[in-house]
Amino acid sequence: MDIEAKMTALHVPAGIVAAVVSFYLSNGSIAVFGKNQALGTFAGLVILLIVGNIAERLFGKDEVGGFKGWLWSGIVPFFFIWFVVWAILITSTTITP
């Protein structure tokens, strides 16, 4: 498996985890934080940076291709999955029959 596929395979599950964490922080499930979308966004970005550092250590900075390689194989799939799953979770709780 090439390095781009491995980077994407690492970032997609992290995007799902980030979406769930962002959902719980932004909809008021944790009473201490209230409804705080900014905190949910911040948590997702922190998860992205952590996963990016893990990927850099696993595969090596030269193999990843620096920021350009991380952008297209890590950041773009992460953001797409993160926002789509977060939107699905928010929408599924706001629809009333």
pLDDT digits over 38-54, tens only? 898 999 999 999 999 99
Q: Report the pLDDT value the prediction gives residue 69, as an integer from 0 to 100.
A: 83
Query: What percentage of the chain reaches a pLDDT higher than 90?
Result: 48
8 A C-beta contact, residue 7 and residue 70 = yes
| Cα–Cα nearest to 48, from 3, 84, 10 | 10
Q: Quick check: 36 pLDDT over 70?
A: yes
pTM, two decimals, is 0.87
Q: Report the pLDDT value the prediction gives residue 61, as an integer from 0 to 100.
A: 82
DSSP string computed for 37-88? HHHHHHHHHHHHHHHHHHHHHHH-HHHHTHHHHHIIIIIHHHHHHHHHHHHH
- How far apart CA 45 and CA 60 sit, in angstroms, is 21
| Cα–Cα nearest to 45, from 21, 27, 13 | 21
- How far apart CA 18 and CA 13 sit, in angstroms, is 9
Average pLDDT over residues 3-28: 92
